[in-house]
């Protein structure tokens, strides 16, 4: 079941290929920070809208970074499940018994980030995270496809899985449960809302004149600052 090759020579060869791989090659989009809105939510919505319109692959996929009570960080990829651009908040979902759920219970603040290579754009947000009510979690879950609902009902995200045979058995049982009980929702399913305290927009330039615009929440408004890239 092993994949790949071993050894320092293979690592060097891999590194050479990594170094030769094109990055930020363009053509990329441009960005004029002087014309950016006074709040980051509308800018996020505009960049996401453009990514969707241009067919950027999976622009709804984001990295969520959390920290455990002892400060140990963890990052993983998730789906964006909602946007509140007026308040610069984003919504995602997962099991509260998973690693991220445990981190957020102990330390309810997180970072989310996106990178859309075809546009040369990175967006980052950090802020406090709230778990939304059970009705919201239920609606979120029941809006998913039967296959996705069955996947969430088999086992508990991040708990050890005994064997592939157990996996196949539990998946089959979950598919049967979804057919018999279409309203079933996993006990731990939770919708979370991150309200940005800070947001940052990074526009790459093939000539390396990258631009970085940072927003910090300031009372009811936002302070905008250019940062060295
Ligand atoms: C494209 C993609 C989308 C994903 N979407 C979600 C999601 O919306 N919610 C979720 O809990 N896990 C999602 N996952 C799985 C997570 O990356 C992760 O493996 C899982 O949530 C367990 O992480 P944790 O132990 O840090 O909680 C997704 C993975 C990929 C690759």
Q: Enumerate the domain spans of the chain.
A: 28-144+187-226
Assigned token pair, 130: 């709230």
| Torsion angle (degrees, nearest 10) of CA 160, 162, 164, 169 | -100
CATH class in words for 28-144+187-226: mainly beta
Predicted pLDDT at 26: 81
Those residues of the chain that have pLDDT short of 50 are 1
Residue for token pair 């970072």: 111
Instruction: Please state the atom number of ligand 1 nearest to the C-alpha of residue 66.
Output: 26
Q: How far is CA 209 from the centre of its chain?
A: 27
Predicted pLDDT at 207: 92
pLDDT digits (tens, 9 = 90+) for 118-138: 999 999 999 999 999 999 999
Q: Is the CB of 65 under 6 A from ligand 1?
A: no
Residue of 59, 79, 159, 161 to test ligand 1 pocket, by largest number of atoms within 8 Å of CB: 79
Report the alpha-carbon distance of residue 83 to residue 187 in Å, rounded: 25
Predicted pLDDT at 6: 78
Name the closest-CA residue to atom 5, ligand 1: 78
Predicted pLDDT at 14: 96
pLDDT digits (tens, 9 = 90+) for 90-107: 999 999 999 999 999 999
Instruction: Please state the atom number of ligand 1 nearest to the C-alpha of residue 94.
Output: 11
Instruction: Please state the atom number of ligand 1 nearest to the C-alpha of residue 157.
Output: 22
Name the closest-CA residue to atom 7, ligand 1: 78
Assigned token pair, 34: 């002087």
Q: Is the CB of 158 under 6 A from ligand 1?
A: yes
Name the closest-CA residue to atom 17, ligand 1: 77
Residue 31 alpha carbon to ligand 1 centre in Å: 31
Contact 115, 122 (CB under 8 A): yes
Name the closest-CA residue to atom 31, ligand 1: 77
Residue 93's alpha-carbon distances to 27, 129, 139, 178, in angstroms, are 34, 12, 11, 19
Predicted pLDDT at 94: 97
């Amino acid at each position: 079941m092993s994949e790949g090759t071993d050894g320092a020579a293979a690592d060097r060869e891999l590194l050479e290929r990594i170094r030769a791989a094109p990055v930020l090659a363009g053509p990329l989009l441009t960005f004029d920070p002087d014309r950016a809105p006074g709040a980051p939510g509308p800018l996020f919505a505009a960049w996401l809208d453009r990514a969707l319109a241009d067919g950027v692959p999976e622009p709804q996929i984001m990295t969520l970074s959390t920290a455990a009570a002892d400060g140990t960080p963890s990052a993983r990829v998730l789906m964006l499940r909602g946007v509140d651009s007026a308040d610069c908040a984003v919504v995602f979902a997962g099991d509260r018994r998973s690693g991220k759920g445990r981190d957020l219970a102990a330390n309810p603040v997180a970072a989310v980030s996106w990178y859309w290579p075809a546009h040369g754009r990175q967006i980052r947000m950090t802020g406090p995270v709230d778990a939304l009510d059970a009705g919201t979690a239920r609606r979120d879950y029941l809006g998913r496809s039967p296959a996705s609902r069955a996947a969430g009902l088999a086992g508990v995200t991040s708990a050890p899985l005994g064997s592939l045979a157990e996996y196949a058995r539990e998946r089959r049982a979950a598919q049967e449960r979804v057919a018999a009980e279409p309203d079933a929702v996993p006990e731990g399913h939770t919708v979370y809302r991150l309200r940005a305290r800070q947001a940052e927009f990074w526009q790459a330039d093939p000539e390396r004149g990258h631009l970085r615009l940072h927003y910090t929440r300031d009372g009811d408004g936002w302070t905008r600052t250019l940062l060295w890239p």
